[in-house]
């Protein structure tokens, strides 16, 4: 009986940690889809225009491909 408590605690901890995922979960996406570059340029433009620091740094999307 005394061994069951640590085993249940370990199982409970594992299930809580393993169950935490980013919102939306894992979604397979194609990096070659032009929609992603369109969205990334739109987001970068919005961030660069609305940046409060207005410094010399700009965000530019980089295309990431699969090897």
> What tens digit of pLDDT does each residue of 9-64 get?
888 887 777 665 556 666 677 777 888 888 888 888 888 777 665 667 777 877 77
Overall domain count for the chain? 1
On whether residue 58 sits in a domain, the answer given is yes
Contact 61, 37 (CB under 8 A): yes
On whether residue 65 sits in a domain, the answer given is yes
Q: How confident is the model at residue 67 (pLDDT cuts 50, 70, 90)?
A: low
On whether residue 49 sits in a domain, the answer given is yes
Give me the pLDDT at residue 1, please: 67
- Residue 44 belongs to domain spanning: 30-67
Long-range contacts of 45-53 (CB under 8 A, 24+ apart): none
pTM of the model: 0.45
CA angle 40, 25, 44 (to 5 degrees): 10
């Amino acid at each position: 009986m005394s061994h069951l408590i640590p085993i249940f605690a370990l199982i409970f901890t594992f299930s809580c940690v393993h169950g935490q995922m980013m919102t939306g979960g894992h979604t397979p996406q194609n990096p070659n889809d032009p929609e992603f570059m369109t969205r990334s340029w739109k987001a970068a433009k919005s961030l660069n225009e609305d940046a409060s620091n207005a410094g010399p740094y700009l965000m530019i999307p980089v295309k990431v491909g699969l090897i």
